[in-house]
Amino acid sequence: MWRKLKRLGVAQLADGVVALPADARTREYLEWLADEIIEGGGTAGIWIARPASLAQERELASSMAEARAAEYRALAEEATPVADLTENARLSAARRLRAELRRITRRDYSPHLSMNGRAARSRRCCIPPQPTLPRRADRRSGPPATTSTSTGPPVPD
């Protein structure tokens, strides 16, 4: 269960006590998790609470934002050597890095991270250079030998 909560981006306040922003998405997900725990014979409940002070709220938001920022930094560091890989390895790594970027973005409740460029830099480093096709004038003259269809094998012209 803890892994599922971590995937959601919770901040652990104490043993068995986690915090998330109060929005419909997180509440629904927590309700699903609570139902899963109860179906498994456990005890679960969702309590809606507010920090006692604005300072506590800012501290909690800041710690959650820093946790996501650390994940973006780690992803950017992991992506740095990807450019030196072979094309197939680079494409495979890019798919894996993009998937991780999506997971981080889903648990990123701090819009300022995107605005200051951390997310944008992470996205850029996860996208490998696209192969360039030769210009039309550089291609051999004449029609292609086969035509591909999405419903079957190549068909000769």
Q: Is the pLDDT of residue 2 over 90?
A: no
The two three-digit tokens of residue 121, written as one number:
């830099």
Dist. CA 7–CA 21, nearest whole Å: 14
Secondary structure element (H or E) that encloses residue 11, with its range: strand 11-14
Q: Is the pLDDT of residue 33 over 50?
A: yes
The residue-averaged pLDDT of 68-81 equals 90
DSSP state of 150: T
The two three-digit tokens of residue 55, written as one number:
């300072």
The residue-averaged pLDDT of 68-92 equals 89
pLDDT range class, residue 149, cuts 50, 70, 90: very low
The residue-averaged pLDDT of 53-60 equals 91
Where does the chain have alpha helices with state H?
Answer: 2-8, 24-39, 54-79, 87-106, 111-115, 118-126
Determine the Cα angle at 107 with ends 17 and 26, to 5°.
55
- Domain boundaries, given as residue ranges, for the chain: 1-49, 53-129
Residue 65: Cβ within 10 Å count: 16
- 19: phi > 0 → left, psi -120 to 50 → alpha, else beta; which? beta
Considering the entire predicted model, what is its pTM?
0.62
Secondary structure element (H or E) that encloses residue 18, with its range: strand 17-19
